[in-house]
Structure 1
Amino acid sequence: MAIDFRLTTEQRNLQEAARDFAQNVLAPLVPDADAARDPHEAFAKTKPAYVESYKRGFAMGFLPKEYGGGSVSNLDLQLVAEEICAVDPGFATTLLVNGLGLMNVAWFGTDAEKEKWLRPACTDAKGEYLAGWVVSEAAGRPGGTANFDAPQPSPTGIGLTAELINGEYVLNGRKYWPCNAGGWDKQGADVNVCIVRTDKTKGGKEGLSAILVPRGTPGFRVEKVIDTMGHRLCQNNSLVFDNVRVPEENVISGTKGNGDLVISKAFTWSGPVAAIAAVGVARAAYEYTLEWAKGNTAGGAQPIMQHQHVGYLLSDVAMKIEAARYLSWKSAQYLDLYDSEGHVPGAWSKIFGGETCVEVVYTCMRIMGVNSYDRSHPLEKYMREALCFPIYDAGNIGMQRRKIHGVMAHDSFDPRAFVDNKAMIFSKDMEGLDTSPNLVETGRPPEPHKAAA
């Protein structure tokens, strides 16, 4: 049979290498970094581990070999990501975001662009190179990013503009939430891959592009590092672009007017990785709680694992983790088959993995009882990390489910394509669904709710 869940010798070695890094390099610095009150300090404390991950090939391993990367498959990336995320998914997000940004050069760039932008990322002698993925914008009216493919022109949708003047693009606007974009010193990542509006007269399907902004470009600044509840070891930023000028050739060639496809494909590629990240956290919570249940009596005569209800709950937890893992694996394999064109299974895995993780961690907390609320145990951290999965990386409600809806509603959708490993083509006419709901009075906010006297 072609179906075989056993890992090859090479995959076992890769898994063990990732586990060794996670347990012996990353884990010792996580408690201190996670406890840092300043969010940038928390991120900066991970730099030694990041440099080591770079040297071991984890930081840029997904980029093409011909430019110095590892050409690691999506499926093999699953093995690395689960081990690192079982220790800390925030740190793993820093690694993932390198790919969210730079894989777009690999997919949409010319050979010359790949040489220019990918080789430096893969051959940094210091091992400190960071790439930012700069898409999200602050909520407001208008504001936010979920409806990036809405048909209306500016100011609806992406608000960061790029105007072509005398051979240069001039960027103006703000971004909110991008990871890595501030760099180790809050002066900028080595390169930021920015989704911008290059044509303010067009909607999201025609007016967006991806532009590379190198570190040190005047007019770019980090307004603040966002103080988040979980994933504290990665860096989220509020950014300002004030007449930032970059050469016209800094637009990734295949993205001109196709920034919508860039967003959709990047968050498709990251879907199974975000899913297996959630599996890693769920696995850590399950294993800790299982050990707890076998050693604590809650004042009774026997450890609580001997009680039927606890045994049943942990059985359910174990089954759900396995289901999430195998959906992640198959989605990753599907992306390997079709050059990361797997918009439905990528989103499926991300949604199922993230929401399962929240459920699993909460179940584990219920089993431990109030002791799980004690920060001397790791459950409170696992819950802080878990709550991020359904809302980050193209949130499950805002973008991922809407993307699935767009594909499934299209006449070309084959409901058996995933199970049969057939190609599912994604096109612009699958975008835009649900972006323009019917309003009683378009353009006017609803009346505020008034409590009864």
Structure 2
Amino acid sequence: MNYFLTEEQQMIQELAAQIAREKIKPVRAQLDEQEEFPWEIMQVLAQADLFGLYIPEEYGGMGGGILENCLAIEQLAQACIGVATSFAASGLGAYPILLYGSEEQKQRYLPEVAAGKRLAAFGLTESSAGSDVSGIKTTAVRDGDHYLLNGNKQWITNGGEAEIYSVLALTDRSKGPRGASFFIVEKGDPGFSFGRKEKKLGIRASATRELIFQDCRIPKDRLIGREGIGFINAMKTFDKSRPGIAALGVGLSQGALDLAVEYARQREQFGKPIITFQAIQHKLANMAIKTEASRALLYAAARHMDTEPPDASKLAAMVKVFSGDVAMEVATDAVQILGGYGYMQDYPVEKMMRDAKILQIYEGTNEIQRNIIGQELNKEYSRIKETFF
């Protein structure tokens, strides 16, 4: 199914699929085992102009939107969501600048991100502030023509590898979330350093590090927008980026399904391929149904969200929840179908099962996403005059 994709959108799919097939699949096991950041693949993606899919043409991008970005992420994720996460996380780091940055900031940073010359990263999570964004403690204090940042950010994707960081910090503690602001911090700024590279259950090809700010001095023109709009910027950024997490889930589901079907057609028990057994057919059927449903929801939501709709937060939460849960289920079922082989590292589904778990956790846990959906439903129905009882 092409889901009414334009010729250009199909070309994006095909290009990303080719890179996944030729560049990622042959090395995904090695990248996972050695926990190696995929710099060579990032360079290939840059040469293919995929980093700029969602960035306007005036800043060196392709002028596409959420859907175009998701199409590429999905294809890359079929091979490895560790690599695809490294790619997608640069967009997450760039969105605060794209949404609320000054024209000067956009001209300075976005062309390099679009060209893949410099990766970006998003600095929000702290040890005491993950799902509860209002719990951040990192501060930014004005000091003449500069700001001094102090605090730590934890579990930051692309940490240490990226050169551009969008960092949320409190400029007025007394106002809570309304006192938060975003800043652009560059790798190499004085007082900015990194913690150790985290050892993870999955997505091991991606880099996850702590960001450490100790009197980190940055020019005042690195403030994104104005003071006090950081929380709004973060929420708007997540509306743009969470469909990308859904695309990771769709891609992983498809990759696991492909492997499971291929194995079931070849593996024989009791003298015939196991795909002829009803139990296996039903499991594969459920995997296929949910994968296709996940893709359909993603494409429809991404198209709608590119129109800047008022229900963007609800849709972004819906696609992330559904695709993440489906990916975890499909990957687990793929391991079950492969049996003992599925549990071994020689077969990719073992890695896919480990990788899938993060989709239910990062960029807002699926529990938090359900909270968002419930809150938005409450708002919507409070505006409806009709009585349903």
Residues 40-51 of structure 1: pairs in structure 2 closer than 5 A: 42-43=36-37, 46-51=38-43
Which of 170, 175, 178 does residue 156 from structure 2 map onto? 178
- Relative distance call for 1:248 and 1:339 in structure 2 (3 A) is farther
Q: Compute the displacement of 1:412 (Å).
A: 6.8
C-alpha separation in 2, matches of 1:341 and 1:225: 37
The 3-state SS of whatever aligns with 1:387 is helix
C-alpha separation in 2, matches of 1:103 and 1:371: 41
Unaligned runs of 5+ in 2: 385-389
The 3-state SS of whatever aligns with 1:315 is helix
Residue of structure 1 in register with 2:33 after alignment: 35
The 3-state SS of whatever aligns with 2:152 is strand
Contact kept, 8 Å, 2:53 with 2:68, in 1: the verdict is: no
Contact kept, 8 Å, 2:101 with 2:225, in 1: the verdict is: yes
Q: Compute the displacement of 1:181 (Å).
A: 2.7
Deviation readout 1:396-420 (Å, 9 max, x if unpaired): 12x32232233223267679xxxxx
C-alpha separation in 2, matches of 1:313 and 1:414: 42
Q: Compute the displacement of 1:271 (Å).
A: 1.6
Say if 2:56 is the partner of 1:64: yes
Residue of structure 2 in register with 1:288 after alignment: 259
CA-based RMSD:
1.8
Deviation readout 1:34-90 (Å, 9 max, x if unpaired): 111xx4xx11xx111111111111123221110111122212222211110001111
Contact kept, 8 Å, 2:89 with 2:121, in 1: the verdict is: yes
Residue of structure 2 in register with 1:131 after alignment: 120
Which of 253, 261, 264 does residue 235 from structure 2 map onto? 264
The 3-state SS of whatever aligns with 2:256 is helix
Residues 74-93 of structure 1: pairs in structure 2 closer than 5 A: 74-93=66-85
- Relative distance call for 1:178 and 1:413 in structure 2 (3 A) is farther
The 3-state SS of whatever aligns with 1:242 is strand
C-alpha separation in 2, matches of 1:251 and 1:406: 31
Contact kept, 8 Å, 2:125 with 2:133, in 1: the verdict is: no
- Relative distance call for 1:242 and 1:340 in structure 2 (3 A) is farther
**TM-score (normalised: structure 2):** 0.94
Residues 6-25 of structure 1: pairs in structure 2 closer than 5 A: 6-25=4-23
Deviation readout 1:254-313 (Å, 9 max, x if unpaired): 5x2121112211112112111121111111111111111111123x02111111111111
C-alpha separation in 2, matches of 1:191 and 1:10: 29
Contact kept, 8 Å, 2:53 with 2:65, in 1: the verdict is: no
Deviation readout 1:337-361 (Å, 9 max, x if unpaired): 1179710001100000000111111
Q: Which sits farther off after the overlay, 53-62 or 316-325?
A: 53-62
Residues matched between the structures, number: 383
Residue of structure 1 in register with 2:370 after alignment: 401
Contact kept, 8 Å, 1:407 with 1:413, in 2: the verdict is: no
- AA in 1 matched with 2:124: V
Which of 156, 164, 188 does residue 191 from structure 1 map onto? 164
Which of 93, 96, 100 does residue 101 from structure 1 map onto? 93
Contact kept, 8 Å, 1:358 with 1:386, in 2: the verdict is: yes
Deviation readout 1:317-368 (Å, 9 max, x if unpaired): 1000000001111111111111797100011000000001111111222222
Identity among equivalent pairs (%): 28
- Relative distance call for 1:79 and 1:121 in structure 2 (3 A) is closer
Q: Compute the displacement of 1:211 (Å).
A: 0.4
C-alpha separation in 2, matches of 1:341 and 1:408: 10
- Relative distance call for 1:51 and 1:16 in structure 2 (3 A) is same
Say if 2:24 is the partner of 1:52: no
Residue of structure 1 in register with 2:316 after alignment: 346
- Relative distance call for 1:296 and 1:120 in structure 2 (3 A) is closer
Residue of structure 1 in register with 2:343 after alignment: 373
Say if 2:109 is the partner of 1:117: yes
Deviation readout 1:358-388 (Å, 9 max, x if unpaired): 1111122222222211211111101011111
Which of 129, 132, 138 does residue 144 from structure 1 map onto? 129
Q: Compute the displacement of 1:217 (Å).
A: 0.5
Residue of structure 2 in register with 1:312 after alignment: 282
C-alpha separation in 1, matches of 2:290 and 2:97: 36
Residue of structure 2 in register with 1:441 after alignment: none
Residues 245-260 of structure 1: pairs in structure 2 closer than 5 A: 245-254=217-226, 256-260=227-231
Contact kept, 8 Å, 1:63 with 1:103, in 2: the verdict is: no
C-alpha separation in 2, matches of 1:360 and 1:226: 27
C-alpha separation in 2, matches of 1:67 and 1:340: 26
Q: Compute the displacement of 1:161 (Å).
A: 0.7
Contact kept, 8 Å, 2:99 with 2:237, in 1: the verdict is: no
The 3-state SS of whatever aligns with 1:202 is helix
The 3-state SS of whatever aligns with 1:216 is coil
Residue of structure 2 in register with 1:161 after alignment: 139
The 3-state SS of whatever aligns with 2:133 is coil
Contact kept, 8 Å, 1:286 with 1:360, in 2: the verdict is: yes
Say if 2:288 is the partner of 1:334: no
Contact kept, 8 Å, 1:268 with 1:340, in 2: the verdict is: no
Could you say which structure has the larger radius of gyration? Answer: 1
The 3-state SS of whatever aligns with 2:136 is coil
C-alpha separation in 2, matches of 1:336 and 1:286: 29
Say if 2:212 is the partner of 1:240: yes
- AA in 1 matched with 2:244: V
C-alpha separation in 1, matches of 2:376 and 2:216: 36
C-alpha separation in 1, matches of 2:382 and 2:240: 20
Unaligned runs of 5+ in 1: 150-156, 184-188, 416-453
